[in-house]
DNA sequence: TTTTGTAAGTAAGTATCACTCACCTTATTT
DNA sequence: AAATAAGGTGAGTGATACTTACTTACAAAA
């Protein structure tokens, strides 16, 4: 199988592009189906030919973005040698990604997770793949002796992801700038070396 | 001033109680004003006599819960002596609180933050007070030499809050159990001692 | 070439929802 | 008794997500 291209009619592409564009301007709940259709140059009814509902449209757009992100980060990770260096890279790359595309991040960090349907979506599947990647690196780090043997890898993953997400949450919400390198290095230092004097 | 009781007519109380009850069953967006009114035994119009809109109702219910939580935790913190012990307590108490009242947590963790109006609400003010409490403890810990002098207190706060929130997020969303004591101790160990072997 | 089947797309709905507004009722103040 | 005001009502209203019955385009089968 060369590609998984399911038939992609022009209307479908236009709708997704229209929606993606509108996402740069306003938040999900204030984008109307009428706007999406008008902006795409199709009728409202066509949206429901290709998408179950408005949320399904959101999840499919998100899915595409997630896949792109994951491809990018997978390549970068292979360049790091140690497990800790890999985790450092994940922290840095995640922060970069969140801050580069703030509107998308806002949706990921505080829009999609409150709907059960998201957890059945392809977009969520991508999130779990990313999470599994992180877990594997942690487990490798423990196996190689880089990370303390008594570390709970699942909990460490939670701390890392939680730190990343919360570190940029306020900045994403309020549109404030953030020194990404410094923040990434700071998180890494706290988690790997600890803060006890 | 003995109490700040602003006039609290029965209809208002019934609406808040009705809404609180419905929150135990379903998520915010799927609760309709018609349901709230019917459940409260009042008419829909009355909701808008006392609340600006549906979100305002949510924030006022949240505010009450936050105040209760903050009172409880403030008392517990004074019992700890060292700064690290205080932070340990905050991690533990926060996890306890989130998991004890999962429905409220779901709202806090993934419902309210996507609306700008929340950040102008009294409920948000309570969040900032809590955050300031944590920051002060960190700064005291740095001053007393318990926490490494080169630690960025704002970033450490983010890591702690992020770790707490993410540690219980999945469990709250999917209704899974969590060993609170173990999780709290694990987070504390990671952040204070680091995971490097 | 004609027929048929199907996918793409349309246009005009409908149901539901948050929210409004003019009005009623009751009790307290003057 | 009259006035005022607060508590409460119920019938709207506009907007919005979603539906449904239809049309067009076009390729494969006959």
pLDDT at res. B24: 86
Question: Does strand D come within 7 Å of the CB of B44?
Answer: yes
**Is the pLDDT at A103 greater than 90, yes or no?**
no
Distance from residue B7's CA to nucleotide D26's C1', rounded to whole Å: 71
Structure tokens given for A40: 């795409």
> For residue A183, how far is the Cα from the chain centroid?
18
pLDDT at res. B64: 84
pLDDT at res. A7: 60
- CA distance readout (Å), B27 to A7, B36, B171, B173, B180: 36, 13, 16, 11, 25
Candidates B110, B193, B194; nearest CB to A114: B110
pLDDT at res. B4: 36
The residues that bridge with A147 in the sheet, in sequence order, are B196
Listing DSSP states for A131-185 in one string gives: HHHHHHHHHHHHHTTSB-TT--HHHHHHHHHHHHHHHHHHHHHHT----HHHHHH
Percent of chain A with pLDDT over 70: 96
pLDDT at res. B7: 61
The Cα A196–Cα B194 span in angstroms is: 9
Are A70 and A134 contacting, i.e. CB atoms less than 8 angstroms apart?
Answer: no
Closest CA to A35 of A54, A50, A51: A54
The Cα B141–Cα B158 span in angstroms is: 16
pLDDT at res. B2: 27
pLDDT (tens, 9 = 90+) of chain B, 197 residues, equals 323 344 689 999 999 999 999 998 888 999 999 999 999 999 999 999 999 999 999 999 998 888 888 899 889 999 999 999 999 999 999 999 999 988 888 888 988 998 999 999 999 999 999 999 999 999 999 999 999 999 999 999 999 999 999 999 999 999 999 999 999 999 999 999 999 98
Query: What is the SS3 assignment for B196?
Result: strand
Q: Which residues contact A25 (CB under 8 A, 6 or more apart)?
A: none
Distance from residue B12's CA to nucleotide C29's C1', rounded to whole Å: 24
The Cα A143–Cα A149 span in angstroms is: 8
Dump strand ranges (E) for A81-153. none
Are A40 and A14 contacting, i.e. CB atoms less than 8 angstroms apart?
Answer: yes
CB < 8 Å to A119, chain B: 173
**Is the pLDDT at A164 greater than 50, yes or no?**
yes
**Is the pLDDT at A104 greater than 90, yes or no?**
no
pLDDT at res. B114: 87
């Amino acid at each position: 199988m060369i590609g998984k291209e399911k038939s992609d009619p022009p209307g479908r592409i236009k709708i997704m592009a229209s929606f993606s564009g509108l996402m740069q301007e306003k938040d999900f709940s204030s984008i109307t189906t009428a706007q999406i259709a008008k902006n795409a140059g199709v009728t409202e009814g066509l949206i429901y030919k290709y998408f179950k509902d408005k949320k399904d449209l959101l999840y499919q757009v998100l899915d595409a973005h997630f896949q792109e992100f994951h491809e990018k980060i997978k390549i970068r990770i292979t360049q790091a040698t140690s497990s800790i260096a890999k985790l450092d890279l994940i922290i840095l790359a995640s922060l970069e990604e969140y801050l580069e595309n703030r509107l998308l991040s806002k949706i990921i960090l505080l829009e999609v997770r409150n709907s059960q349907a998201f957890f059945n979506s392809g977009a969520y599947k991508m999130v779990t793949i990313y999470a599994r990647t992180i877990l594997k690196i942690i487990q490798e780090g423990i196996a190689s002796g880089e990370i303390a043997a008594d570390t709970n890898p699942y909990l460490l993953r939670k701390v890392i992801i939680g730190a990343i997400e919360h570190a940029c949450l306020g900045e994403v919400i309020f549109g404030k700038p953030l020194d990404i390198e410094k923040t990434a290095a700071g998180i890494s230092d706290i988690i790997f070396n600890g803060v006890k004097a």
